[in-house]
């Protein structure tokens, strides 16, 4: 064999292997055939987070759209939380990109918008004023950046709420705390009654984050975090941060979360079960916790032992006690590279406000951010809880998106790490500030 022939054989062989590997990558894409955006009129991809309760509802909504609409078909692909963020990041801008994708709005969405991968939906809303009016303005604002709208709410509002076990509180003689000082007293009383005062799923830092978010808001008002996020008038070294973290440190040192939180997870057998079994008094968690408890410990909820309250006020603090933190909602955004834009816009403007879709969400315990939904909530099951969430959100002076979603990914990762060290007592309040401000 001459060397020339050998080179040729080598080249074609390697091309073959390359092609094979590329093909393999292609077919490992989201579930369902067409593999990515598809051509004009092909099946569009909708990407969302895995959720046993919501996925069937989303699926049904897409099927209804496919039957009714002439514009094109969609299919749903779902992913777990971490794989979703990784996969979306690398898929966007590639032929594998979805047409519509699930997101949290805020800074999380901003990274995608800045990269020029998200379609501006403001024209769509301008053409359809009734669509804009269908959503609660404060929630719609969650996917608004520089006055432009980049996503429409596709599921319920998820503020963080202070859940409690009524019978535990009762037997320890504890009142539902209205202020931070009340909470500290409650912690002492619960400790004396030999229960963990507050259940915390501390093996993941996002659960600890909820405490920091609320405290900073109550102490310094929402502007403090907004400044940090926007990097304009101050960073983590603003005095309110140190003050809030010092208060949080006091709560940890007082034994508010017990001693075992660092290895408690938020899955089956985690913090929720601890609360339901009466081993803890409180549990600060997103509003989805109610649905979760209903599924995991129905007896506990049906016996009326699960209570809920807004996060306590801080006396003398800047933040309004009606302020909320959490996930404003989740949004569907449209990618700029989508080849099914018309169909996607039709989907966004009809399917999300569709009567059946809203009813399905409500039946699942979700509180859709749609105007005039309160009457429906009152008639449905669990109305006591869902109307509480609705009223809280409507009345809130400010609704801050969870910090880990509102900061850019690298800042969020660093912040969560410092926070978990802080909860373990390996980082002081001042050290926390210095590490993040530096």
Partner 1 sequence: MSSRGSSTQTGQQRPSAWYAAPAVLFFGLFAVVPMLLVVYLSFTDWDGFGFPQPSGAGNWSRLAGDGEARDALVLTLVFMVLSWLVQTPVALLIGVWAAGRQRNRAILSSLFFLPLLLSTAAIALLWRSVLDPNFGVTQSLPLLGEFNFLGDTSIVIYTVIFVITWQYVPFHTLLYQAAARTIPASLYEAATIDGAGRYKQFFQITLPLLRYTIITSTVLMLVGSFTTFDTVLILTGGGPGTATRIAPLYMYITGFSGFEFGYASAVAVLLLALGAGLSLVVTKATGFRDMNSQQEGA
Of residues 12, 86, 371, 430, which one binds partner 1 by CB under 8 A?
86
Of residues 93, 278, 295, 307, which one binds partner 1 by CB under 8 A?
93
- The dihedral sign for the CA sequence 148, 153, 158, 159: positive
Q: Of 10-18, 39-47, 211-219, 322-330, which part binds partner 1 (CB under 8 A)?
A: 10-18
Closest to 312 (Cα-Cα) out of 142, 184, 406: 184
| Nearest distance from C-beta of residue 347 to partner 1, angstroms | 25
Closest to 276 (Cα-Cα) out of 287, 289, 263: 289
Q: Does 11 bind partner 1 (CB under 8 A)?
A: no
Q: Name the 3-class secondary structure at 357.
A: helix
Helices 409-423, 239-253: axis angle to 10 degrees equals: 40
Closest to 366 (Cα-Cα) out of 46, 51, 48: 51
| Nearest distance from C-beta of residue 173 to partner 1, angstroms | 25
CB 397 within 8 A of CB 322: yes
104: CB partners within 8 A, 6+ apart: 327, 330, 331, 401, 402, 405
- Find the largest Cα–Cα distance for the chain: 92
Q: Which is nearer to partner 1, 28 or 130 (CB)?
A: 28
363: CB partners within 8 A, 6+ apart: 380, 381
Rounded to whole angstroms, how far apart are CA atoms 328 and 143?
A: 9
- DSSP designation for 257: T
Q: Does 36 bind partner 1 (CB under 8 A)?
A: no
Q: Which is nearer to partner 1, 323 or 405 (CB)?
A: 405
Q: Does 424 bind partner 1 (CB under 8 A)?
A: yes
CB 152 within 8 A of CB 348: yes
E strands along 136-278, which residues?
144-145, 148-149, 152-153, 158-165, 196-199
Of residues 293, 297, 386, 420, which one binds partner 1 by CB under 8 A?
420
Of residues 235, 321, 421, 434, which one binds partner 1 by CB under 8 A?
421
CB 321 within 8 A of CB 313: yes
Rounded to whole angstroms, how far apart are CA atoms 121 and 217?
A: 30
Q: Which is nearer to partner 1, 384 or 414 (CB)?
A: 414
Q: Does 81 bind partner 1 (CB under 8 A)?
A: no
Of residues 111, 235, 320, 354, which one binds partner 1 by CB under 8 A?
111
Residue 60: CB atoms within 10 A of its CB come to 14
By CB under 8 A, how many residues form the interface with partner 1? 41
Q: Does 4 bind partner 1 (CB under 8 A)?
A: no
Q: Of 13-21, 122-130, 283-291, 382-390, which part binds partner 1 (CB under 8 A)?
A: 13-21
Q: Of 82-90, 121-129, 212-220, 353-361, which part binds partner 1 (CB under 8 A)?
A: 82-90
Q: Give the per-residue contact string, 259-298, with partner 1 (x = CB under 8 A; - = no).
A: xxxxxx----x---xx----x-------------------
Q: Does 95 bind partner 1 (CB under 8 A)?
A: no
Q: Give the per-residue contact string, 214-253, with partner 1 (x = CB under 8 A; - = no).
A: ----------------------------------------
Question: 326: alpha, beta or left, given left = phi > 0 and alpha = psi -120 to 50?
Answer: left
Q: Of 14-22, 24-32, 184-192, 248-256, which part binds partner 1 (CB under 8 A)?
A: 14-22
Residues 163-202 that bind partner 1 (CB under 8 A): 202
Of residues 278, 417, 431, 434, which one binds partner 1 by CB under 8 A?
417
Contacts with partner 1 by CB under 8 A lie at: 1, 6, 10, 13-14, 17-18, 21, 82, 86, 89-90, 92-93, 111-112, 115, 117, 202-204, 259-264, 269, 273-274, 279, 409-410, 412-414, 417, 420-421, 424, 426
């Amino acid at each position: 064999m001459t060397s020339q022939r050998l080179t040729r054989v080598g080249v074609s062989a390697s091309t073959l292997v390359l092609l094979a590997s590329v093909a393999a990558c292609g077919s490992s894409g989201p579930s369902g055939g067409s593999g990515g955006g598809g051509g004009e009129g092909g099946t569009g991809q909708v990407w969302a987070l895995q959720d046993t309760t919501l996925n069937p509802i989303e699926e049904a909504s897409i099927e209804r759209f496919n039957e009714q609409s002439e514009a094109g078909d969609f299919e749903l692909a779902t992913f777990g939380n971490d794989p979703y963020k990784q996969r979306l990041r690398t898929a966007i801008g590639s032929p594998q990109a979805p047409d519509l994708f699930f997101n949290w709005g805020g800074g999380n969405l901003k990274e995608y918008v800045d990269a020029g991968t998200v379609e501006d939906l403001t024209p769509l809303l301008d053409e359809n004023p009734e669509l804009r009016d269908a959503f609660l303005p404060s929630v719609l604002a969650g996917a608004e950046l520089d006055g432009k709208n980049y996503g429409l709410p596709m599921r319920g509002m998820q503020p963080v709420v202070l859940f409690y076990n009524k019978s535990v509180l009762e037997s320890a003689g504890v009142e539902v705390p209205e202020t931070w000082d009340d909470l500290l007293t409650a912690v002492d009383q619960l400790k004396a009654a030999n229960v963990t005062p507050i259940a915390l799923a501390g093996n993941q830092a996002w659960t600890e984050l909820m405490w920091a978010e609320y405290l900073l808001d109550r102490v310094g008002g929402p502007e403090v975090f907004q400044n940090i996020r926007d990097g304009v008038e101050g960073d983590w070294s603003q005095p309110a941060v140190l003050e809030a973290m010092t208060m949080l440190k006091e709560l940890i040192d007082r034994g508010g979360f017990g001693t075992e939180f660092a290895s408690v997870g938020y899955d089956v057998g985690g913090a929720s079960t601890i609360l339901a079994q009466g081993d803890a008094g409180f549990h600060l968690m997103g509003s989805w916790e109610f649905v979760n408890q209903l599924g995991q410990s129905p007896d506990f909820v049906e016996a009326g032992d699960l209570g809920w309250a807004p996060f306590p006020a801080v006396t003398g603090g800047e933040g309004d006690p009606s302020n909320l933190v959490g996930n404003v909602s989740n949004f569907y955004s449209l990618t700029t590279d989508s080849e099914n834009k018309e169909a996607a816009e039709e989907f966004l403007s009809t399917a999300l406000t569709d009567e059946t879709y809203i009813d399905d969400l409500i039946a699942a315990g979700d509180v859709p951010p749609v105007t005039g939904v309160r009457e429906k909530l009152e008639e449905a099951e669990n109305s006591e809880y869902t109307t509480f969430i609705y009223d809280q959100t409507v009345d809130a002076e400010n609704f801050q998106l969870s910090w880990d979603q509102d900061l850019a990914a690298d800042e969020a990762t660093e912040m969560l790490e410092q926070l978990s060290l802080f909860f373990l007592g390996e980082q002081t309040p001042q050290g926390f500030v210095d590490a993040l401000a530096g």
